[in-house]
Amino acid sequence: MPELPEVETIRRGLAPVLTGARLARVTARRPDLRFPLPHRFAERMTGVRIEALDRRAKYLLARLDQGETFVAHLGMSGRFEIADAGGSNGAGRFARAVAPDPRHAHVVFETEAGARVTFYDPRRFGYMALVPTAALGEHPWFRGLGPEPLGPGFDGELLECALAGRRAPIKTALLDQRLVAGLGNIYVCEALHRARLAPDRAAGSIPRRRLARLAQAIKSVLEEAIEAGGSTLRDYASAEGGLGYFQHSFAVYGRAGEPCLRRGCGGAIRRSVQSGRSTFACDRCQA
DNA sequence: CCCACGACCTGTGGGC
DNA sequence: TGCCCACAGGTCGTGG
């Protein structure tokens, strides 16, 4: 599920339950996800207090009171579910497209206040770590990570520097987390369509004026998706982190063969493959 | 260094 | 209905 907006939505959903909470019990129901869980993971997590929940790129960060930061990446299919002290969650009160399969409940966090947060991940591409907070920036997952697209200073000039000399297609370049952090396949396709840029253009050859428009498109699509995720949160009372309502707002992603939604364009969305991944774009209004 | 590709793992949806 | 293939929102290691 998760690109930057989904991880941010999950963070906002978990924050009320976990910020300031002390963990009474942590259960790892298997020894590994994509990578082995940290050494003595459950023991090291038990009794800690979570001082703050943050996000960097697609990573969820829980700053702990003992000097370490818990890091989680949700891979392709990871999700967190919140249950309150009574054990109920959104599923009992609201319709849900896909109920979590208990076979894939890999890690359970229980707070002293009686809340339970469960990590589900059928494909197990997700991963977790405990990293000394002071050295977080030097960790391989974070060293070399590009700028936050919603951070200060993200504009056409910054993109121009990041993309200088790149011959890779702009679509592929934007997926490179070293250049920009947090974008994934969906929002790259959506941002390129908003900016009217063709996905196969060489990244390093796009003039700054158009990169300014691209930077603005990236910001607006991410902000709108987070906003839509917020409405999902309100409805589900959970940190499910699915695509929420924003999936109904995709202009190109998953719309192969359908008409381009840009006013007056009249083109059709075409699916292609770049670096082994689906790209959706309108050949008529993206150039 | 840059880039493309296969691998990792399970589930789902479409076509026959 | 059942089977088989293609494909899925991410990242890493390899090899050209």
| Catalytic residue (one of A11, A55, A58, A171) | A58
Residue A130 banded pLDDT, cuts 50, 70, 90: very high
Share of chain A above pLDDT 90, in %: 84
Residues facing strand C, Cβ within 7 A: A 1-3, 6, 34, 57-58, 73, 75-76, 123, 125, 140-141, 175, 177, 184-186, 242-243, 247, 277-278
Mean pLDDT of A202-227: 97
Note the pTM of the prediction, 2 decimals.
Answer: 0.94
Q: Looking at residue A246, what is its pLDDT? A: 86
- C-alpha closest to that of A229 among A9, A7, A80, A3: A9
* CA pair distance A287, A283, nearest whole angstrom: 7
Q: Does residue A1 register a pLDDT over 80?
A: no
Residue A101, CA: closest nucleotide via C1'?
B11
pLDDT band at A94 (very low <50, low <70, confident <90, very high): very low
More confident residue, A9 or A247: A9
For residues A96-107, give the mean pLDDT. Answer: 79
Is A58 designated active site?
yes
Is residue A77 within 8 Å of A1, Cβ to Cβ?
yes
DSSP strands (E only) in chain A: 23-28, 50-56, 59-64, 68-73, 79-83, 105-111, 116-120, 127-132, 269-274, 277-282
- The predicted model gives A235-244 an average pLDDT of 58
Residue predicted with more confidence, A266 or A231: A266
Residue A248: per-residue pLDDT = 82
pLDDT, position A245 = 78
Would you say residue A35 has pLDDT above 80?
yes
Joined together, the tokens standing for residue A113 give: 């206040």
| Helices A185-194 and A208-236: angle between axes, nearest 10 degrees | 130
Averaged pLDDT score across all residues of chain A: 91
How distant, in Å, are the alpha carbons of A118, A128, A243, A258 from that of A28?
Answer: 10, 11, 26, 44
Residue A239 pLDDT level (bands cut at 50, 70, 90): low
